[in-house]
């Protein structure tokens, strides 16, 4: 498995036990995940606190989005998901998970999946431990996902995000993503009921 370097990171620069170590923001290393990483990935704290949300108003012709402050700030903890069944159906050649490591500590990851029928790369999940946020880790992980997209021949990258995750939405906007869809019912019957699913996409050069 190979992947290009994130912009400005210097490319693949080492091998550890036969596995690639990708370029990244120092002093972190970025590499393809291995099965031994699964347990640690599941424990990464993806929760967030935000003093604003993206309020969504649906109309007969579409929807409008406006960022609005909330008081007090909201704190969101995502429920634990069991994706064992999903993994059984995955084609390993069409998925990739890249992890960010600070020494022996795994502090972030991005999981992406390619759909050949419409040449779309989906960001299935991306999380960074709280102590490593605002340090470019998420941007570098996403850059490696973009590299995988280009390797697969993807024409665009797509993701889903809840409307209350303003920090993530602002980060995606800075990365060139734009809003492309809304689902007001996706989270009904779940712990996230009442939230709105926003879809964002970005064309690849």
Query: How much is the mean pLDDT over the chain?
Result: 87
Give the residue with greater pLDDT, 6 vs 167: 167
Superfamily for the 30-203 domain? Gcn5-related N-acetyltransferase (GNAT) (3.40.630.30)
Of all residues in the chain, the percent with pLDDT exceeding 70 is 83
Q: How far is CA 115 from CA 53, 90, 91, 123, in A?
A: 30, 11, 10, 11
pLDDT for the residue 23: 52
Contacts of 37 (CB under 8 A, 6+ apart): 97, 99, 106, 109
Mean pLDDT for 113-134 is: 97
| Boundaries of every domain in the chain | 30-203
pTM (whole model) above 0.95: no
Cβ-in-10-Å burial (0-12, 13-18, 19+) of 55 comes to middle
pLDDT for the residue 1: 28
């Amino acid at each position: 498995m190979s992947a290009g370097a994130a912009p400005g990171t210097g490319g693949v620069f080492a091998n550890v036990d036969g596995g690639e170590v990708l370029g990244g923001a120092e002093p972190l290393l970025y590499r393809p995940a291995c099965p031994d990483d699964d347990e640690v990935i599941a424990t990464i704290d993806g929760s967030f606190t935000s003093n604003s949300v993206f309020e969504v108003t649906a109309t007969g012709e579409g929807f409008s989005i406006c960022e609005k402050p909330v008081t007090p700030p909201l704190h969101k903890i995502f429920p634990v998901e069991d994706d064992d069944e999903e993994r059984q159906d995955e084609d390993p050649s069409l998925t990739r998970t890249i992890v960010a490591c600070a020494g022996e500590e795994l502090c972030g990851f991005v999981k992406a999946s390619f759909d050949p029928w419409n040449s779309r790369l989906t960001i299935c999940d991306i999380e960074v431990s709280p102590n490593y946020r605002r340090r470019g880790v998420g941007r570098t992980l996403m850059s490696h996902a973009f590299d995988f997209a280009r390797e697969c021949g993807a024409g665009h990258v797509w993701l889903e995000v809840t409307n209350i995750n303003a920090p993530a939405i602002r980060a995606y906007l800075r990365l060139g993503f734009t809003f492309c869809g809304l689902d007001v019912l996706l989270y009904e019957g779940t712990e996230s009921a009442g939230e709105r699913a926003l879809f964002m996409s970005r064309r690849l050069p």
